Amino acid sequence: GENVEQHPSTLSVQEGDSAVIKCTYSDSASNYFPWYKQELGKRPQLIIDIRSNVGEKKDQRIAVTLNKTAKHFSLHITETQPEDSAVYFCAASMKVITGRRALTFGSGTRLQVQP
Amino acid sequence: GAVVSQHPSWVICKSGTSVKIECRSLDFQATTMFWYRQFPKQSLMLMATSNEGSKATYEQGVEKDKFLINHASLTLSTLTVTSAHPEDSSFYICSARPPGGGLWGTDTQYFGPGTRLTVL
């Protein structure tokens, strides 16, 4: 099955700096890679996702890059703000048309933005 | 749009009792829902895939007789933790995937708010 590794486990940055979280996946058949933000005791919220037919996607201060050859993808947050502090999870999923495959999550990164 | 609700948000029960958790898609029909378990400061671990009108598909190591899943309609899936024990205490989260066509189908999963189960 799929295995997703995520680094770092914790990340502390100063407000205004950039934050980068990296994930690798094992199954070359995976083709959908979402990133979720989870605040303490709350549900994971999708913040950005990318499919295997593109290499980069950007949404305001958030961007995701995908390297299919190396099987890794990264989340980039620019101009970080204290409200960005949360746990971020990457995930990978195989082609959904097959029906049953769900998301395999990374271990999470606790991001702390220091004001 | 794409709102998923879960009930109850928290529950405390005695060891040996059964607890039912409901997951509803409020504004879309979901042929597939997923159940995850999350221990403190850990990641989400998939327990099972719930398919409307058919049996759930359980992940390796998840006891199907202990975690009963019923997906009776296109907007409701239930997870029943039978004969709960303290080690079953966890945060249970469901997700649902809106239907869609095309090459990718609909990949995006929307999560419920979770249910915190504490077994005494």
Q: Does A32 touch chain B (CB under 8 A)?
A: yes
| pLDDT value of residue A98 | 45
Question: Which one-letter amino acid corresponds to residue B78?
Answer: T
Is the separation of the CB atoms in A31 and A51 below 8 Å? Answer: yes
> What are the DSSP E strand ranges found in chain A?
4-7, 10-14, 19-25, 30-38, 45-51, 56-59, 62-67, 72-77, 86-94, 104-105, 109-114
Task: Judge whether residue B21 has pLDDT over 50.
Answer: yes
- Residue B64 DSSP label: T
Distance from CA of B14 to the nearest CA of A (A): 22
Of B34, B104, B108, the CB nearest to A102: B34
Is pLDDT above 70 for B56?
yes
Residue of A nearest to B90 (CA): A41
Tell me the residues of B at the A interface, defined by beta carbons under 8 Å apart: 32, 34, 42-46, 49, 51, 57, 91, 93, 95, 97, 103-114, 116
- With 80 as the cut, is the pLDDT of residue A100 above it? no
Give the pLDDT confidence of B75-97 residue by residue, as tens digits: 999 999 999 999 999 999 999 98
What distance in Å separates the CA atoms of residue B65 and residue A79, rounded to the nearest whole number? Answer: 49
Give residue-wise pLDDT tens across range A72-81. Answer: 999 999 999 9
Residue B37 neighbours by CB under 8 Å, 6+ apart: B44, B45, B47, B90, B91, B92, B93
